[in-house]
């Protein structure tokens, strides 16, 4: 239910907005709203939505910062992200001279984009202990950012709330609980606003939940529609025909353990086709023999689904991993491109998901176009059938069918995870981080001993040997690479070895920005050569954005804290650095 309390009372109930003295940019921001027209055609000088635009290209045509001016690019300001613990994964948004972003534990803050001075900060007061009623989390208290619309900032919280804040002062306008209270759901992804509705999914498949994505009215917080990604108990009836059809691909009593399919990231919108694209996560438990003992494709796990944004009805789907047993989500960032393929103009959606194949689909119909490996070492499948679009699986990877433990690559961390990709229309390349990994999957004991336990991990997989020799494969180094990828040829063009992990930003200044371990880099997008770098200290970075203010172009990015060990020292004996957001500009 929607709360409509006066802002001071509601803020006290749901968190605290800490206001600071309003810097000069506040006057500009106070009168500026973000409307549908701005989201459809985002101003070059701002960054109004997670991917920079609805197509999620993380590209800006700003070109003041280019190879000839990089020597004048220097630190403009930095601001410590107070109270932060854990990795930072948020992409900041910029509107009216103000940066809006999140830290861990769903903190939201607004800064003057020119000076880094705090305008306000909102602490949602998330309970940090599961034992005291805090949220269940598989992968830390991360948050990937906010959405802007009208005069509000929208954020999803780890405890399952979706909250609308006044963008000028951080006061709570409304709050809605999007998940059942006390259930093992969390929200880590950034919302999107489409046609006046705030779109949000959730996480929690490892704990055993049923995934869904929901649209809420941006003005009131009222639920407009909900699309479940896996079917529920048939005895309760089906919400729609999509769930009825999906149920035909499941067996046993899958609903008892939720089924999974959470939508924790991966959204895009095509305003011309009026389609909303949603990436669907892994099965729950991972082990298909436990959740669907008779096999089956288990729709719509590990799929991209296209929905009607007005009512949430399914238009088409494409499943990457039928009967997923390896945590191969399709929730990784997606991108909408218009490409000429085989002499034909195609509207496509591209994705580099966990399973290691780069997919190109027709985004109007969902028709399969191509899929090629971008990971160096894929053992779960030898390829994707060009006629059917189904993976050509390695039977030995199906540990749940053979009853034998086996090494499988990629591991559950994936060949590519949450880090956003970017696209440069000048080079025609897509840029993203890729990793090599492997995992020992074994269900020998779990089949006999597995007991579904709410509130705990329920993968149905053990890494222990269970009597099987673990000598099948030598270890991989697990290093990451930065790839320049041709989506038309579906092939690698260049790579930079072992350069850390972050999302990427492409610009009209013929530059590619991304972060490593405490270092911000600028690459030549044509060949990957490093043209500039700045050591900002700290750990891994999130995803850079760029904006223009008072005639100057800036680059901003969040930097995770460097772990402080004995004596407060970080890696290499350097002083530990707190989590920060840093901004660079030309001098």
List the catalytic residues.
327
DSSP state of 7: H
Helix H, strand E, coil C: the string for 144-203 is CCCEEEECEEEEECCCCEEEEEECCCCCEEEEEECCCCCCCCECCCCCEEECCEEEECCE
What is the rounded distance in angstroms from the CA atom of residue 193 to the CA atom of residue 196? 6
The CA dihedral of 310, 182, 279, 92, to the nearest 10 degrees, is: 90
What is the rounded distance in angstroms from the CA atom of residue 77 to the CA atom of residue 83? 19
Q: Using DSSP bridges, classify how beta strands 504-507 and 59-60 pair: parallel, antiparallel or unpaired.
A: parallel
Best CA proximity match to 456, nearest among 172, 249, 209: 209
Best CA proximity match to 124, nearest among 255, 12, 37, 5: 12
Q: Which residues, 6+ apart, have CB-to-CB distance to 371 below 8 Å? A: 357, 358, 359, 360, 383, 384, 389, 490
What is the rounded distance in angstroms from the CA atom of residue 396 to the CA atom of residue 379? 9
- Find tokens 């004995």 and name the residue: 566
What is the rounded distance in angstroms from the CA atom of residue 271 to the CA atom of residue 441? 42
What is the rounded distance in angstroms from the CA atom of residue 193 to the CA atom of residue 486? 30
Q: How far is CA 345 from CA 158, 340, 455, 497, in A?
A: 42, 4, 49, 33
Beta bridge partners of 530: 523
């Amino acid at each position: 239910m929607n709360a409509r309390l006066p802002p001071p009372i509601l803020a006290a109930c749901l968190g605290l907005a800490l206001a600071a003295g309003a810097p000069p940019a506040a006057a500009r921001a106070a009168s500026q709203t973000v409307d549908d027209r701005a989201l459809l055609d985002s101003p070059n000088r701002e960054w109004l939505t997670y991917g920079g635009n609805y197509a999620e290209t993380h590209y800006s045509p700003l070109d003041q910062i280019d190879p000839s001016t990089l020597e004048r690019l220097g630190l403009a300001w930095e601001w410590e992200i107070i109270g932060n613990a854990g990795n930072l994964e948020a992409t900041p948004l910029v509107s009216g001279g103000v940066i809006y972003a999140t830290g861990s534990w769903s903190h939201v803050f607004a800064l003057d984009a020119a000076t880094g001075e705090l305008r306000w900060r909102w602490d949602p007061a998330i309970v940090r202990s599961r034992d005291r009623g805090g949220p269940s989390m598989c992968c830390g208290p991360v948050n990937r950012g906010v959405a802007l619309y009208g005069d509000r900032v929208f954020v999803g919280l780890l405890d399952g709330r979706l909250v609308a804040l006044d963008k000028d002062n951080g006061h709570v306008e409304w709050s809605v609980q999007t998940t059942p209270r006390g259930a093992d759901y969390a929200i880590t992804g950034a919302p999107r606003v489409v046609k006046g509705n705030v779109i949000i999914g959730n996480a929690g498949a490892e704990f055993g939940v049923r995934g869904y994505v929901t649209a809420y009215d941006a003005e009131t917080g009222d639920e407009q529609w909900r699309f479940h990604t896996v079917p529920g108990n048939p005895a309760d009836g089906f919400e729609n025909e999509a769930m009825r059809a999906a149920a035909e691909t499941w067996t046993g009593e899958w609903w008892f353990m939720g089924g999974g399919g959470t939508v924790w990231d991966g959204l895009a919108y095509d305003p011309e086709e009026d389609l909303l694209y949603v990436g669907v996560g892994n099965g729950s438990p991972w082990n298909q023999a436990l959740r669907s003992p008779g096999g089956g494709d288990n729709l719509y796990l590990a799929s991209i689904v296209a929905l009607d944004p007005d009512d949430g009805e399914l238009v088409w789907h494409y499943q990457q991993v039928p009967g997923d047993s390896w945590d191969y989500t399709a929730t990784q960032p997606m991108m909408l491109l218009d490409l000429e393929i085989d002499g034909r103009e195609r509207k496509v959606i591209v994705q580099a998901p966990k399973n290691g194949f780069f997919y190109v689909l027709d985004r109007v119909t969902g028709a399969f176009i191509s899929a090629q490996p971008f990971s160096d070492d894929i053992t779960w499948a030898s390829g994707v059938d060009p006629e059917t679009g189904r993976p050509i699986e390695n039977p030995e990877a199906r540990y749940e069918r053979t009853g034998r433990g086996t090494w499988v690559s990629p591991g559950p961390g994936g060949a590519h995870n949450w880090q956003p990709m970017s696209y440069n229309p000048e080079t025609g390349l897509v840029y993203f981080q890729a990793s090599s990994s492997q995992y020992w999957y074994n269900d020998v004991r779990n089949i006999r001993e597995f007991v579904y336990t709410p509130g705990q991990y329920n993968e149905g997989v053990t890494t222990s040997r269970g009597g099987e020799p673990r000598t099948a494969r030598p270890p991989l180094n697990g290093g990451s690479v930065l790839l320049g990828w041709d989506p038309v040829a579906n092939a690698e063009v260049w790579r930079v070895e072992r350069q850390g992990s972050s999302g990427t930003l492409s610009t009209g200044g013929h530059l590619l920005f991304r972060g490593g371990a405490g270092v911000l880099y600028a690459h030549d997008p044509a060949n990957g050569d490093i043209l500039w770098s700045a050591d900002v200290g700290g750990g891994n970075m999130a995803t850079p954005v760029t904006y223009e203010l008072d005639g100057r172009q800036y680059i901003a990015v969040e930097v995770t804290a460097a772990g402080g060990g004995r004596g407060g020292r970080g890696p290499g004996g350097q002083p530990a650095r707190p989590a920060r957001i840093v901004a660079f500009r030309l001098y």
